[in-house]
Structure 1
């Protein structure tokens, strides 16, 4: 006869006696006190865990290089900290100088547009961006009473934002709406949009720094009525302050790049000349640091055309200033001595040595006669042009020469080139080769392969030829991994001339 088994409940075997120190105390007898230091150890463990989490999240954020990447990382990390699934970030610097952006997490572009139909003053991010009252959580670590405060109020039922000092504006704090659908004080359009998109609560934090002021706001959306507790608010507040500083740095870089790009474009030709027998197209890809790459095309007497590309050593405003001076000087020399490209570059080299002895430059100047489809060119330390046609794709054999400013006296022989009808001559700067990356020979091979693969239907358009080549070579992986050799630091200029 088998021994009957006692039932098991929730995976606990009742046949195993409970240890004496875990047995339920008898009524009236107090439970044994926890060991001294246990509470402190638990708190220390929690702090270490929080610091580890914040360190990992800030490390990931620090690796972002653009405002768009940083905002997306901020939304993703913040969603994990507050326990939400969706959200949106609004970048809107208080100085009004831009740039502005709206990024969504788990929200389609149409969803963001729908949210923006809500009156701005009725949205959590609108309260933050416009400094309006309405946020119930001015302190990231509120007292327990704050959890029961009505929406738009603090623990004492007063205004959510701390009082401002005389003569200063109050800084909005976090804005929590724990139950959007159940809050009758909210704008009806707000509740309607929330019901349509399927979110029932929101939590928003400001993004601001002492140096830049208000940068924007981040909002996270809950699928059910909810509100982050004090611990989660404290963590996201710490993370938000670090994220704001990082966004402030990226904002300054973005503005600097935009200013340099604008200045660079102003130094380049506003339009290309129209000369019978040849069609022109130019492409300029601005580097992150702003380089000194340039191009020019100018009509010359007797139907001739001058084509030039070049690169000045260095980056930043000083290189751009040198670029403007060299380009203006080359135009003058081309008008006077355009038929002799060597003389043009010799004069340019003398000017460089006299005005900027510490700077060097590469340049290529071509004197083209479209009616005869003939080109005479000379280069100073510059990459050779590339001829693209139906019957050939080949580099022009130019003589080796040093860059301008490297020798006491520059001089190199010119090269004659006869162009066939329908062929396109590509002039480009060294930045293209550096962006491709790897050994120079490999870069030349990839550039030649890209030019040879131009579809026949696109070869009649010099702009289409340039676009096809740049699209292929700028995405070519460099040896050692990663696209390109030096990322987006290098300027790239390409000038395409198609002869009829």
Structure 2
């Protein structure tokens, strides 16, 4: 990471003295202007924060025109103090350009380093690159060379339809396609300074460029030796143009750093995807069909994979077991613990499901013996749909919510500690009977925590969302679950990455 102070004061003579291990006075004497100023060569300065300072002069630095001959005593004469071509002025101008460029790179890499997700990082790379090369639009194609994905395309100043048009161009005719299809790992750019005037331009590419209104492009691979090739970035110009040598150098430095950052995010993204996939596979692929009750479930997994579960399993004599729960922690270990507990609970429910307290007591003993460092919350309900009778017990879990035409209320349950918190867990069970057409909603605490409200306000928000279910969807438990989820977690909070898993299980009794 670049670490450059916000304000830099450069003393040319002191810098030259320090570089050559001599006093300032000796340096002034040795480097006094002799002969023509343009014959002087600027010293080679050391690398700063890993960036080689031997780069072309800044684009904004223009060599001074030769002044008209003047008397030696004239202040404007070559070699006179303050003359435009004085060696000190040239060096200081060049140093000012380097400092400006390094400061810009520092700010851009700092902004990129603050991104924690791949999509945000790709958008940041496009914005920073566009600022460095002077373009207005662009796209980045993520296509890791190992073929493991994820493959995606992100645009800057391009709508989804525009990206679709670009993707209709044959791959070999596009800049990013040629970069991604290279067999070597060179970092050479693909430059088209005047795209529409090229004789060998693909007809479809010409048509798309004219339609979208770009006339030039500059493309760079997102590749390093360590990370391999991850993709390619392309910036588009509205008029024939190309970046100057200075701009190419700066954007090359930036993309090399960006590639390393993207490689780290790619590893995290793949780990998150695996955790989510494993967690989903450990949950029921589909809910059972049981006479007298309709079921629906909604599950949102956090980026690292969490330990929330739900289950519905048919039991003897037409009964039904419903359960939700949550294991402390996150990541692969929490997912594995969740899978073990859910599988054990299914076995206990088949053997003694009519007694929910016994089921949770057995689960608590198993947790204490096999997972001594963990705790868990759980709720198990034994349902008899034909009689519309439910007996449930909870261990540190939020109470179910009954949603009907004439009432919307929480079921009164006894307070109890989570599993694994006490030497011996036991709490009384609760029995209640839903009316025909009523829906019982059981859920995990992640639904409340994701809202960001204190728990009392989160419960009030949940109750208001359930009470506001439209009449037109009260016969559909899935629609009820969706309404509650989107109302309690508005503005995409239900889909946003969060450390909190969310589980809702809705059962509508006929």
Indicate the TM-score class for this superposition, using the shorter chain for normalisation: 0.7 to 0.9
Partner of 1:135: none
Change (3 A) 1:362 1:495: same
- TM-score, normalised via structure 1 length: 0.84
Partner of 2:275: 260
1:57 equivalent in alignment to 2:108: yes
Q: 1:32 aligns with which of 65, 78, 82?
A: 78
1:455 equivalent in alignment to 2:465: no
Partner of 1:179: 194
Residues 290, 490 of structure 1: 8 Å contact kept: no
Change (3 A) 1:170 1:286: closer
Q: 1:43 aligns with which of 68, 90, 94?
A: 94
- TM-score, normalised via structure 2 length: 0.82
Partner of 1:125: 176
Residues 176, 227 of structure 1: 8 Å contact kept: yes
Q: Secondary structure of the equivalent of 1:181? A: helix
Change (3 A) 1:182 1:31: farther
Pairs within 5 Å for 1:218-257? 218-257=233-272
Q: What CA deviation, in whole Å up to 9, does each residue of 1:446-483 have, x standing for no partner? A: 11111111111111111111111111112289xxxxx6
Residues 218, 235 of structure 2: 8 Å contact kept: yes
**What's the CA shift for 1:186?**
3.0
C-alpha distance in structure 2 between counterparts of 1:256 and 1:96, whole Å:
16
Residues 61, 74 of structure 1: 8 Å contact kept: yes
Q: What CA deviation, in whole Å up to 9, does each residue of 1:259-300 have, x standing for no partner? A: 011100110011111111100000100111211000110011
Change (3 A) 1:236 1:423: same
Aligned-CA RMSD value: 2.1
Greater Cα shift, 423-432 or 66-75: 66-75
1:346 equivalent in alignment to 2:361: yes
Which runs of 5 or more residues in structure 2 are unaligned?
1-64
Q: Secondary structure of the equivalent of 2:364? A: helix
1:269 equivalent in alignment to 2:291: no
Partner of 2:381: 366
Partner of 1:498: 508
Partner of 1:163: none
C-alpha distance in structure 1 between counterparts of 2:103 and 2:471, whole Å:
58
Q: Secondary structure of the equivalent of 1:314? A: strand
**What's the CA shift for 1:31?**
4.6
1:85 equivalent in alignment to 2:121: no
**What's the CA shift for 1:253?**
1.3
C-alpha distance in structure 2 between counterparts of 1:68 and 1:476, whole Å:
18
Pairs within 5 Å for 1:256-405? 256-405=271-420
Partner of 1:5: none
Which runs of 5 or more residues in structure 1 are unaligned?
1-21, 133-168, 478-482
Partner of 2:212: 197
Q: What CA deviation, in whole Å up to 9, does each residue of 1:21-52 have, x standing for no partner? A: x9974699995343341111111211111122
Partner of 1:7: none
1:69 equivalent in alignment to 2:120: yes
Q: Secondary structure of the equivalent of 1:433? A: helix
C-alpha distance in structure 2 between counterparts of 1:26 and 1:88, whole Å:
53
Q: What CA deviation, in whole Å up to 9, does each residue of 1:137-194 have, x standing for no partner? A: xxxxxxxxxxxxxxxxxxxxxxxxxxxxxxxx34241111111122213333333332
C-alpha distance in structure 2 between counterparts of 1:196 and 1:82, whole Å:
23
Partner of 1:427: 442
Runs of 4+ in 1 over 4 A off after TM superposition: 26-31
**What's the CA shift for 1:363?**
0.4
C-alpha distance in structure 2 between counterparts of 1:197 and 1:307, whole Å:
55
Partner of 2:20: none
